[in-house]
């Protein structure tokens, strides 16, 4: 769909082609390409570089002993990259539709919890204390090798619970 450029200040009458959020997400199967499609070239190339860095880190053996943690970061970044491309396309379209900066700010803040996170705070404190004990007192972390999958399982369970809770309250389903 094309939007007349006359909706923008300083418009020259040219047409602005809307961006497809779905196409942006699909293009981001190759990290950064969805952002490039939307027009965020620097972000797209940065994401491609970050993804390449993760691959080099994992394949070079430099992450020996922490491969599961690096792989989890890579998986998170990969999915975030696709979500970000779709979000950027929607932002582009909202701007093309004439949304003001205040409208965009309000929409953005509506999706962010303004209070903080008890679960997130406890997880960061526990992780920090655990790694500090390992560093200062040589507490073994060998058990992490077997038990690290509980972190994404727990996070997924928490997201599922929060989504069900929000639906029951009549709120957002969290993107589902």
Write the pLDDT tens digit of every residue in 34-60.
999 999 999 999 999 999 999 988 888
> Does residue 150 share a domain with residue 66?
no
> Does residue 140 share a domain with residue 107?
no
> Does residue 168 share a domain with residue 129?
yes
State pTM to two decimals: 0.55
> Does residue 127 share a domain with residue 82?
no
> Does residue 121 share a domain with residue 110?
no
> Does residue 150 share a domain with residue 106?
no
Ranges under pLDDT 70 in the chain: 1-15, 104, 107-117, 171-176
The structural domain count of the chain equals: 2
Residue owning tokens 């949304």:
99
Q: Residue 116 has what pLDDT? A: 61
> Does residue 85 share a domain with residue 8?
yes
> Does residue 71 share a domain with residue 1?
yes
Q: Residue 76 has what pLDDT? A: 92
Q: Residue 86 has what pLDDT? A: 92
Burial state string for 54-81 with b = 16 or more CB within 10 A and e = fewer than 16: beebeeeeebeebeeeeeeebeebeeeb
Q: Residue 27 has what pLDDT? A: 95
DSSP H helical ranges for the chain:
21-27, 33-38, 41-60, 67-96, 101-110, 118-137, 143-147, 150-168
Q: Residue 163 has what pLDDT? A: 82
> Does residue 40 share a domain with residue 11?
yes
Q: Residue 110 has what pLDDT? A: 61
User: What span, in angstroms and rounded, lies between the C-alpha atoms of 78 and 85?
Assistant: 11
Range of the domain at 174: 117-176
Choose one of 63, 93, 114: the last residue of a domain: 114
User: What span, in angstroms and rounded, lies between the C-alpha atoms of 57 and 50?
Assistant: 10
Choose one of 85, 114, 143: the last residue of a domain: 114
> Does residue 168 share a domain with residue 99?
no
Q: Residue 176 has what pLDDT? A: 42
């Amino acid at each position: 769909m094309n939007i007349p450029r006359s909706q923008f200040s300083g418009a020259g009458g040219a047409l602005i082609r809307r961006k497809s959020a779905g196409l942006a997400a699909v293009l981001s199967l190759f990290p950064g390409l969805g952002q490039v499609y939307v027009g965020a070239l620097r972000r797209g190339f940065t994401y491609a570089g970050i993804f390449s860095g993760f691959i080099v880190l994992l394949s070079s053996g430099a992450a020996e002993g922490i491969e599961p943690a690096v792989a989890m970061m890579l998986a998170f970044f990969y999915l975030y990259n696709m979500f970000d491309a779709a979000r950027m396309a929607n932002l582009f379209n909202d701007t093309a539709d004439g949304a003001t900066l205040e409208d965009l700010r309000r929409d953005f803040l509506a999706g962010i919890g303004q209070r903080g996170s008890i679960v997130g705070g406890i997880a960061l404190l526990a992780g920090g204390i655990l790694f500090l004990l390992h560093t200062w007192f040589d507490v073994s972390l060998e058990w992490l090798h077997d038990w690290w999958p509980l972190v994404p399982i727990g996070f997924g369970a928490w997201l599922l619970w929060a989504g069900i809770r929000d639906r029951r309250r009549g709120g957002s389903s969290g993107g589902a």
